[in-house]
Amino acid sequence: MSRRRSLFFRLSHIRLLVRKFALVILFLAAFVLMLISKTDSEIADRASSVTTGIVSPLIDVLVMPARLIAQSYDSVRDLQRIHHDNIRLREENHRLNMIYDRFRALEIENKLLSDLLNYVTPPQADFVTARVIAEESDAFAHAMIAYVGENSVRKGQAALSDKGVVGRVDQVSGSYAKIILITDINSKIPVMVEKKRVRGILSGDNTMSPKLIFIPLDTTINVGDRIVTSGVAGVFPAGLPVGKVVSASKGEIVVKPFSNLEQIEYVKLVDYGLDGILQDQPQDKRK
């Protein structure tokens, strides 16, 4: 034990001496290096290269966290810029799709009317914007109630959203109108396939996807085909967007409406002044 203590005291004494003379030792080492560099440049170059080889990896290790932070910051900034660009491109794509759909409809219409001489201008439409206040969506009916206020609304008027046909007015009572949706089992709308100009009936079945019926058997319907109103029977004018085909088989053609019927807050009740629009039957007057 005494030997260990004496050795410990000696080492402590040496450490104290080194600390006291560290500055002097560093000064002497620098002075010696200066003398060597003046006398023998080859030795100085070797010492410098060895020192550089030792210090450079240490500097790289010390700089690495700062480099990683800078790279992370640049990556986050790039991701934010990509996110903003993505939002802007989506909005532009949506606008371009709307313009393209309108252009395609006009192109088809122009092609059909190019050979006609007695073209009749579509009727002027009056409309009322109404707020949806209640919905009926179950296994027996798909309808909604809209508040129309003091506006003049009558049975048979088309109910539209910003994306297309959603139904028609079935009943009017005071300031409220009941609208049968195109998914209701009692809804039957004359429609046609926009590209092929093939006519049929869009029939609701109380699901969110009505069916296309009474299509000629020799007609090929493809998934993605747009369905628009045909104007037959004078209920709706021709060309109003309805939906697109999402499933086409020999036994069943399923159509998905353009409008999300579960999230409609406002509807436009349009009166095209067509003779085929259903009217309320007059009550019999008894004497």
For helices 2-20 and 22-39, give the axis angle rounded to 10 degrees.
60
Query: What is the overall mean pLDDT for the chain?
Result: 79
How is 176-229 classified by DSSP, letter by letter? EEEEEETTSTT-EEEEEETTTTEEEEEE--SSSS-EEES--TT----TT-EEEE
- 229 contacts: CB under 8 Å, gap ≥ 6: 165, 189, 190, 191, 192, 236, 237, 238, 239, 240, 242
pLDDT at 280: 45
pLDDT at 22: 62
Q: How far apart are CA 51 and CA 203, in angstroms?
A: 87
What percent of the chain lies above the pLDDT cut of 90? 33
| Residue 280 falls inside a structural domain | no
| Residue 262 falls inside a structural domain | yes
Q: What is the CATH number for 253?
A: 2.40.10.350
Structural domains in the chain (count): 1
Q: How confident is the model at residue 241 (pLDDT cuts 50, 70, 90)?
A: very high
Q: How far apart are CA 198 and CA 230, in angstroms?
A: 9
| Residue 172 falls inside a structural domain | yes
pLDDT digits (tens, 9 = 90+) for 188-210: 999 999 988 899 999 999 999 99
pLDDT digits (tens, 9 = 90+) for 222-235: 999 999 999 887 77
| Residue 285 falls inside a structural domain | no
| Residue 65 falls inside a structural domain | no
| Residue 213 falls inside a structural domain | yes
| Residue 286 falls inside a structural domain | no
Phi, psi for residue 79 in degrees, rounded to 5: -65, -40
Kindly report whether the global pTM for this prediction surpasses the value 0.85.
no
Q: What is the mean pLDDT of residues 269-281?
A: 65
| Residue 284 falls inside a structural domain | no
What is the domain range of residue 237?
Answer: 126-271
